[in-house]
Structure 1
Amino acid sequence: MQVMTNASDFVEETTADGVTALRFSGDLSIASIGNVPERLSEYPGGIQQLNLADVGYIDTVGAWLIHRTARNMGAEIVGGDDEATRLIAAVSSVDPAADVRPDPPNPVLRVLNEIGEATTLAFTTLAGLVGFFGSIMLALFNLLRHPGQIRWNAVIQRFDVVGVRALGIVGLMSFLIGLVIAQQGAVQLRQFGAEVFTVNLVGRLTLRELGVLMTAIMVAGRSGSAFAAQIGTMRLTEEIDAMRTIGVSPVEALVLPRFLAAIIMLPLLGFYASVVAIIGGGLLSWVELDIPPATFFSRIREVVPITDVYVGLAKAPVFGAIIAICGCYQGMQVKGSAEDVGRRTTAAVVQAIFLVIVLDAFFAVFFTWIGWS
């Protein structure tokens, strides 16, 4: 059986009050609406009312058409029965007003807002790192009171991951840095006939600054990111929650081994990197400046004070602590999805490198102030 429908139509009229209106007739349904939407979209403005008094059946398609036409023309809907009024109100409630193209934000306010958000995030993160460091100190104090609870196997495994397996890449990087320092120093000092001072440059710069600093940056990118990714993945798989459930402290089991490994291994890696960099600088000095290795290393002993070694070794444990704290803290903050693991891993590396460089500048001023320059 075929359902009979009355085709939709509308005409323009002027009411007794002088109001320009469109009077709709027929059924406003998907089966009978025809080309009414196209005609309405091309209709000129000036319409003040949409009169539905002659409309028979109306469905949600017709209600949406009337609502959209009234919204676009700024017209008032009149004459509809209870069903039409209910449907139009229903479709209106799911069509919140929105600008198709929102106004561009004020650039000054946008910049100030971004600066404010970045500042708030920086202080929040700093407070979180300080609090996390406090929890590490409490866990370390507890383990010192009960040495039998220290997980030596985990600590030794971290020694291997952080230190032993990093020897190759750290050594190669340091050797090349020593070559570059010696080559660039020789080029500049040759202009003044002072190539011999290349030895001073290589020795003091690598032992005091670059050896430990570049090693810390390398360890932050290599081990700091691994700390964040490993702990973050354990957060996603709820392994850390399971550890808490069975009474195991995640800080003692996961964070402290990494923290101790970074603190102990970074001074050793830093000293190793400095020695390899000096070897690289000595090799280039031998090839390019005709300074024999025996003369080079004898000169190193004369011009490099022992305080430079102390400065490098004093900075290294602090850098290691910063790297471990940033990596483990960001890993502990992971939640929601695997995407957050990548985001937190990146944050851990960036924060660690930034704080290492800031602390290195502080140490440079401090050691100069106390006379170790």
Structure 2
Amino acid sequence: MAITVQFSNYARKTDETLTQRIQFVYSPLNELFRSLHVLLNPRHHGTNIDWVIEIQDRLTDDFYENLHYFQLFYELGVSPILLCDFRYHATTIEEEIQNLKKFLSDLPAAQLIEHLEKVTSDRENSFIPTLAKGLEWKDFSLSNDKQLLKDLKKDASDVYQRLFSFIDWYRREIFDNTWKEKAIQQKLLDEIQKQSSFLRRNGLIEMFNHLQVDRIHWKEDELVIIKPFDQEIQLKDSDTIMLLPSYFIWPHLFVETFDRGLAITYDITEQSSYYNATPENLITIFKALSDPVRLQIMNYVIDKPSTTKSLAQILLMSNSSVSRHLQILKEAKLLTTKKAKKFVLYEPTQLVTQLMPNFYQFFKN
């Protein structure tokens, strides 16, 4: 079961038009709301349990009352409405909060109520079906408290004032210190810069494989996001996929729609430790060798250095597809090029046999 994201005909024309669909979002406010989700369900977030234990003595009864009062905002994800539907660019949480105050004051309260009622309806029906409860949401229970919706219908401005007072207290007493101590800003920025550079060099399809998120992959012309339920999302020409890396959300992968596209919030905590513990060049090498087409190329050019065109004919693939595979192998320093008259020939370096002396023997076996 999965969410299937279908792109418009225009977006699928070239790698460049696909790449234009993607934006990375740096949002401290998103992280604040995600951290509240952790505090709402600490047993389900083992990677952050040390943080929960560390701060629990500073959490007051008033905090817990507000945490549960506002839980519709972050219980099953964070609505893009709380991030102003990504209409503004902000570099600090102070800017984001000011933008949100203005955004909510201009937003008809009925629109927010309608969204939250849909969240309530979805969660009670199929959003967390039995299978999901057994996998991604084990030991998680939903609240039946609808006081927030009642108060929004009665006086939305009072609710917003209470929300921002809650955020101010939480920032002052907990979140701002956590943000600094765990260097979350740098972790998010490093991730965005790394993936943006990879996207520019390799295109959207390869970039999703590079995210290290096992539940996202490209299948034919669609993006497939593994979930314990089925859903189809059709993107328009003008729609965008917003990618939000997060320190707090493991084991979840959140997918939320908004009026101009799709927001995907994915975890970086495992990925960060993985990259810190393993040499980057070794990761690049084994990623390059993980594709059967690239293995065929390596096996062929060891005996006969070849051009892109000749490899395309042998593999029955387009020149552009083979060129992409060759580029990945070359970036991993597994292939090099040499000129023979007007031709550019690809041949292997010694790197793979330095790592695995019997590498080519596997093909003969």
Scaled by the length of structure 2, what TM-score is found? 0.21
Normalized per residue, which structure has more strand?
A: 2
Scaled by the length of structure 1, what TM-score is found? 0.21
With CA pairs under 8 Å and 6+ residues apart, which has the higher RCO, 1 or 2? Answer: 2
